[in-house]
Structure 1
Amino acid sequence: MSTATVTGAPAHRVTPARVLRSEWHKLWTLRSTSINLAVTSALTLAMGVGLGAAYDGTGEGGLDTVVFVLLGTQFATINLAVLGILATAGEYSTGQIRATMTAVPRRLPVLWSKAAVLAAVTFPLCLWTNLLTFPLAQSFLDGTDQSAALGDPGVLRALAGNAAGLTLLTVTALGIGALTRSVPVASGVYIGLVMILPEVLAILQYDAVDDAVRLFPSRALEALTTAQPMPGSPSPGTALLALTLWAAASLAAAATALRRRDV
């Protein structure tokens, strides 16, 4: 008879590595994960190449070349947010969360593991897509005002910054999903925060409000995506910090709710 059987100790302890492995497995066993990631990458690539092929050198004066090529990431902000929301709120809608929390009674490691796994999947995908989209689109833009190379100042930083920004937005959506525990509600909160609220606040003619709006997720992502920072926009470092704080606040709120509520 084994020692574990005599003492009544569990044969397998709950460790961070095992929780991570479990969340990785759960993410990839969902068919929607592969479909979502493939569609996100394809839309970004297709729109970037399509815009490059259709561009005639007029009508886009002043638009940063990286922002122009990566306009397709506007779809990515929604697609990836859906993935993040489903990773948490989706478990509540199916009832699977009860089994998850029974296996990991301390609860919070589940939230951190979900965020880590999602970030580990999202960032490489977005970065790879950006590094593929940019040169393909530029093959059509040679000789125009949007012509640029990967080695030009700020270009690689902007491509990587866009990938980091999208990853942090995805983690923010994951936290909102864990906080609201409802896919429709979380989707509404995310769209309101990222797309609607900044535009509403921008109408107000107050300097303090204008400064705050620049640090909202969508504006911060745009600042991260520019190769040459625009006047009045936050620096890439400030924009990255803002998105990090949005993600951290989302996860902190979700962690507080997770500890105080019943499953």
Structure 2
Amino acid sequence: MSTATATPPYRVTPARVLRSEWHKLWTLRSTWVNLVLTGALTVGMGVGISAAYDGTGEGGLDTVVFVLLGTQFAALNLAVLGILATAGEYSTGQIRATMTAVPRRLPVLWSKAAVVAAVAFALSLWTNLLTFPLAQSFLADTDQAAALGDPGVLRGLVGNAAALALLAVTALGLGAVLRSIPLATGVYIGLVMILPEVLRMLPYAVVDDAVRYFPTQALESLTAARPLPDRATPGTALLALALWATAALAAAATFLRRRDV
């Protein structure tokens, strides 16, 4: 006589957790507002600055960095998107339902990071590829004129998108550790934007060398079409940003496993 073993109708799998996190992100109104604002700021500033540029006074600023000055705001907007993906669930209490559905917890973190990184990279790359030719239509007769096929230009546009995606993941990790939207946002701004400028005032060469690998400086190195003086190479900058994101996710994973929801 055989005994049938009851099989649950649904199992928690990585694909299902990933699909759940994708669905949660896109059903939030804040996601749409954030992404539209990010794209609009990047395109608007790139086109606006290029239209107003008279060909003087920029001191040989890298063309891709010049056109993508709006990504300074995009970096903050996408960081907020990452923070909302984690800390936002703690603020609403939805995290309890999420962790009840996925008791192992860590697949939730990896899925959130993958979804945010994919969305941030796709949006940034699409926006960059739209902004650059639009801006160049105003820069044809200036020292900032360039084409997509010029050396380093396409790499800079793609590198910028990759850097913004990694910054969003870093912010996501901070949100998971701190579990507070205002606190995580403040720490991100202080660590990424303010601390490097403070450290630069210290009269030590080793500090200047270290600052090159902070997120905003690495972002600029990855965005530039040509190597910048006293900055990290694009490959080193990408590695530095990957390590920042990895460290943030590692801290988030540690806290997620050791603390109660």
Q: TM-score, normalised by structure 2?
A: 0.98
Matched, 1:159 2:196: no
Equivalent-residue separation in structure 2 for 1:129 and 1:34 (angstroms): 15
The one of 114, 120, 123 aligned to 2:118: 120
Instruction: Give RMSD over aligned pairs.
Output: 0.9
| Aligned amino acid, residue 32 of structure 1 | S
185, 192, 195: which one aligns with 1:194: 192
* Equivalent residue letter for 1:72: G
Map 1:242-253 onto structure 2 (within 5 A): 242-253=240-251
* 1:215 maps onto 2:195 in alignment: no
Aligned-partner Cα distance in 2 for 1:232–1:199: 15
TM-score after normalising by structure 1: 0.97
Of 145-154 and 6-15, the range deviating more from structure 2: 6-15
> Within 2, Cα distance between the matches of 1:152 and 1:25?
39
Partners of 1:182 and 1:34 lie apart in 2 by 21
Aligned to 1:61: 59
Letter in 2 for 1:148: A
Runs of 4+ in 1 over 3 A off after TM superposition: 6-9
Partner of 2:36: 38
Query: What's the secondary structure of 2:147's corresponding residue?
Result: coil
> Which secondary structure state, in structure 2, belongs to the residue aligned with residue 141 of structure 1?
coil
CA distance, structure 2, for counterparts of residue 47 and residue 231 of structure 1: 25
C-alpha distance in 2, partners of 1:155/1:75?
A: 21
Partner residue of 2:238? Answer: 240
- List per-residue Cα deviations over 1:41-77 (Å, max 9, x = no partner): 0110010000111000011012101000000001101
Q: What is the match of residue 85 of structure 1?
A: 83
Q: In structure 2, how many angstroms separate the alpha carbons of the residues matched to 1:136 and 1:50?
A: 10
**Equivalent residue for 1:94, pick from 92, 95, 110:** 92
Q: Take 2:15 and 2:163, find their aligned partners in 1: how far apart are those partners? A: 26
Which residue, out of 63, 68, 71, partners 1:70? 68
Does residue 1:135 correspond to 2:107, yes or no? Answer: no
For 2:59 and 2:141, the matched residues in 1 are separated by: 15
Gaps of 5+ in 2: none
CA distance in 2, matches of 1:214, 1:147: 27
Q: Given residue 15 of structure 2, which amino acid in structure 1 is its aligned partner?
A: A
Give distance in 1, aligned partners of 2:82 and 2:204. Answer: 34
- Report what 1:150 is aligned to: 148
> How far has the Cα of 1:8 moved from its partner?
4.4
Structure 2 distance, partners of 1:238, 1:35, is: 33
TM superposition shift of 1:10:
2.1
Structure 2 CA distance for aligned equivalents of residues 120 and 228 of structure 1: 26
Are 1:256 and 2:254 matched, yes or no? yes
Counterpart of 1:183? 181
> Residue in 2 aligned with 1:20?
18
The structural deviation recorded for 1:7 is 3.5
Q: Give me the whole-angstrom Cα distance separating, in 2, the residues matched to 1:162 and 1:207.
A: 27
Structure 1 gap ranges (5+): none
